[in-house]
Amino acid sequence: MSEENTANKDKEIKEENNVQQQEETQESKETQPNITINKVEKIMKSWVPKTELGKKVYRREITSIEEVFEKGYIIREPEIVDILLPDLEDEIILIGGTPGKGGGIKRIPVKTTARMHKSGRKRSLHAMVVVGNKNGYVGYGYAKGNDAREAIEKASRKARLNIISIRRGCGSWECNCHQPHSLPFKVTGKSGSVKVELIPGPRGLGIVASSEPKKVLRLAGIQDVWLRSFGNTRTRINFIYALFDALNNLNKIRANEAVIKETGVIEGLSK
Ligand SMILES: [Zn+2]
């Protein structure tokens, strides 16, 4: 074996070690607890806010989502929500479906629609994304794109702009713990033929709902609740709309002092 060969081999080993080291540093970065701070820093570096609210959030003149809601601002830039709620999570709602083997329907993330165009059949894809911080804030977005990725990205941005704060509490007579693990009272919502009813549940019950609405309730931070639905719930989009209608109605119901005290109602974040 020539000297050159040995040298090359040494170099190779060295390079391999380097790669390994790089991977290790990347990994340790990912496991850092301040990952949400990194996310905010990243947005702050690349984002050029356009709206009045965006500029105020960017300059740190507004530092909480509660303030945005209290002052009645309309959120037009998704970055605002990412900065004020850094632990926001995304979930894709499976709205598409093809009849699967054995008669069941296989759910897929995107819904395909085709319409006639002068150049032939034109296909577009629709996606629905729900975002939430698992602590009183949740939103949905529905969008169209030329491919699945585009539709999902657009829906994810829209979901941030649509974020709402929800009321939580303990309206379960079996539980009566005054903690915000459930809802303060029973509430209903409607969209098209679908009606949804949310019923407060006792601590430890969990979310009693099918997979797609369960994603919404989990991201909202509602831990114990029963969901009852009526109508054609196979149209997932209406099902999710009806659920959001119910969550919105939670805020509309006038709660008197006694109910607030009894159920421990909170609006939005629990401290
Ligand atoms: Zn309770």
Domain-by-domain residue ranges, the chain? Answer: 36-86, 89-164, 166-267
Q: Count other C-beta atoms under 10 Å from residue 73's C-beta.
A: 17
CA distance 158 to 77: 9
Residue 46 burial by Cβ neighbours in a 10 Å radius (0-12, 13-18, 19+) = exposed
pLDDT at 117 > cutoff 60? yes
CA of 24 to the centre of ligand 1 (A): 44
88-97, 159-168, 199-208: least confidently modelled range: 88-97
Q: Is 177 left (phi over 0), alpha (psi -120 to 50) or beta?
A: alpha
CA distance 137 to 161: 12
CA of 180 to the centre of ligand 1 (A): 7
CA of 207 to the centre of ligand 1 (A): 14
Q: For the segment 23-72, what is each residue's pLDDT rounded down to a tens digit?
A: 444 444 444 456 667 888 899 999 999 999 999 999 999 999 999 999 99
Confidence of residue 256 (pLDDT cuts 50, 70, 90): confident
Q: Which residues pair with 134 in a beta bridge?
A: none
CA of 193 to the centre of ligand 1 (A): 32
Tell which residue, 147, 99, 103, has the closest CA to residue 126: 147
CA of 177 to the centre of ligand 1 (A): 4
Q: pTM for the whole thing?
A: 0.82
CATH of domain 89-164: 3.30.160.20
CA of 176 to the centre of ligand 1 (A): 5
Task: State both tokens at 172.
Answer: 């379960």
**Does residue 106 contact residue 62 with C-beta atoms inside 8 Å?**
no
CA of 202 to the centre of ligand 1 (A): 5
CA of 90 to the centre of ligand 1 (A): 27
Rounded percentage of the chain residues whose pLDDT exceeds 70: 83
The CATH class, in words, for 166-267 is: alpha beta
